[in-house]
């Protein structure tokens, strides 16, 4: 009978066989290229050394580096605080200087304002005084000219003196049916006038009554002789016939105002504009009340009520 060399199947043997097969398979899987790489990677991670000097390392070098860095930051902070303090002090000083300058300018402005107000007040007072003085001078000149007449368009002769001028006045009196003597005339002269015009004769009588008489006679003569008014021809003077005008001798201010009044009367339908006793008057029509003109403001008032 032949001999069987194969051992019998027993439970323990079966388990041993399965365990060997399993170990062999696990060994095959572990020995595969993929598993070998994984194991190598895990091993390298486990045994990888940290780089010296890294922040995670608590070595003395890292501590010194950290302390040095903190020290630099501290010094930088101190320097920045110092610079900021210097800048703050500079700005504060500049602000104080600006405030001081503004205060100075403000005080100077207040002083100038007070001076301007004082000057304006003094100017008003000065203008009032000047106006008062001008009125006094005007009054004095009018009184001084109270006995004066102005005769225009009397031809000039060469040479000419006061005797010639006096003879003109005497001849004018004869035409107006009044007697004028040399003793009735205090002064006589030709006043200045525009270029290329006949200078008017200014005669000052010894009395105001003589002046008023001659003035009234000239007005009456012209009313009676409407077609042959007083002229150089009626006075038998040489040269072409020219109308002769006799009027009051006005001051410079009164002459200027009289010219303005005549212009105003023409533009605003005033029929009459005349002077009497060195005063200027306007009247719109016959029978209306007259308006006395003493200054330009009176003309403005008439313009507003027109």
For 188-241, what is each residue's pLDDT tens digit?
999 987 777 889 999 999 999 999 999 999 999 999 988 889 999 899 888 888
Is residue 25, in this structure, part of any structural domain at all?
no
Is residue 278 located within the same domain as residue 198? Answer: no
pLDDT at 20 over 80: no
> Mean pLDDT over residues 86-109, rounded?
90
Name the more confident of 18 and 161. 161
Is residue 168, in this structure, part of any structural domain at all?
yes
- Domains in the chain, number: 3
Is residue 184 located within the same domain as residue 129? Answer: no
pLDDT at 47 over 50: no
> Mean pLDDT over residues 82-104, rounded?
89
Is residue 15, in this structure, part of any structural domain at all?
no
Is residue 124 located within the same domain as residue 151? Answer: no
Q: What is the model's pLDDT at position 231?
A: 92
Scan for tokens 């010194």, then name that residue.
64
Q: Which of 107, 124, 144 is the last residue of a domain?
A: 144
Is residue 110 located within the same domain as residue 152? Answer: no
Which residue, among 144, 141, 139, 164, has the nearest Cα to 154 in the 3D structure?
164
CA distance 247 to 225: 18
Q: Which of 144, 167, 182 is the last residue of a domain?
A: 144
Is residue 225 located within the same domain as residue 302? Answer: no
Average pLDDT of every residue of the chain? 82
What is the domain extent for residue 204? 146-249
> Mean pLDDT over residues 288-306, rounded?
86
Name the more confident of 306 and 1. 306
Is residue 192 located within the same domain as residue 259? Answer: no
Q: What is the model's pLDDT at position 282?
A: 93
Is residue 243 located within the same domain as residue 154? Answer: yes
Is residue 187 located within the same domain as residue 172? Answer: yes
Is residue 59, in this structure, part of any structural domain at all?
no
Q: What is the model's pLDDT at position 53?
A: 47
Q: What is the model's pLDDT at position 8?
A: 53
> Mean pLDDT over residues 7-23, rounded?
48
> Mean pLDDT over residues 291-304, rounded?
88
Q: Which of 225, 249, 273 is the last residue of a domain?
A: 249
Is residue 180 located within the same domain as residue 150? Answer: yes
Is residue 157 located within the same domain as residue 244? Answer: yes
Is residue 178, in this structure, part of any structural domain at all?
yes
Is residue 193, in this structure, part of any structural domain at all?
yes
Is residue 173 located within the same domain as residue 138? Answer: no
Is residue 286, in this structure, part of any structural domain at all?
yes
Is residue 110, in this structure, part of any structural domain at all?
yes
CATH number at residue 192: 3.30.70.1820
Is residue 165 located within the same domain as residue 240? Answer: yes
């Amino acid at each position: 009978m032949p001999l069987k060399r194969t051992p019998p199947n027993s439970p323990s043997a079966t388990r041993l066989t399965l365990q060997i097969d399993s170990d062999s398979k696990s060994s095959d899987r572990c020995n595969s290229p993929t598993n070998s790489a994984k194991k190598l990677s895990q091993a390298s991670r486990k045994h990888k050394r940290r780089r010296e000097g890294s922040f995670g390392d608590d070595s003395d070098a890292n501590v010194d580096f950290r302390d040095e860095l903190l020290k630099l930051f501290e010094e930088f902070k101190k320097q920045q605080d110092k610079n900021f303090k210097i800048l703050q002090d500079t700005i504060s000083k500049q602000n104080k200087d600006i405030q001081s300058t503004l205060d100075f300018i403000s005080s100077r402005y207040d002083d100038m304002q007070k001076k301007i107000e004082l000057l304006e007040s003094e100017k008003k007072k000065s203008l009032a005084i000047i106006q008062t003085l001008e009125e006094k001078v005007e009054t004095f000149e009018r009184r001084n000219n109270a006995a004066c007449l102005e005769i225009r368009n009397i031809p000039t002769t060469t040479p000419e003196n006061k005797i010639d001028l006096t003879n003109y006045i005497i001849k004018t009196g004869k035409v107006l049916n009044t007697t004028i003597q040399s003793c009735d005339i205090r002064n006589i002269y030709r006043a200045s006038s525009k270029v290329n015009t006949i200078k008017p004769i200014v005669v000052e009588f010894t009395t105001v009554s003589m002046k008023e008489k001659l003035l009234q006679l000239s007005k009456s003569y012209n009313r009676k002789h409407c077609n042959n008014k007083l002229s150089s021809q009626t006075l038998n003077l040489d040269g072409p016939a020219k109308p002769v005008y006799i009027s009051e001798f006005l001051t410079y201010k009164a002459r200027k105002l009289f010219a303005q009044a005549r212009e105003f009367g023409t533009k605003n339908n005033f029929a009459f504009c005349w002077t009497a006793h060195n005063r200027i008057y306007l009247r719109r029509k016959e029978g209306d009340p007259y308006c006395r003109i003493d200054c330009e403001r009176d003309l403005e008032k008439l313009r507003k009520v027109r």
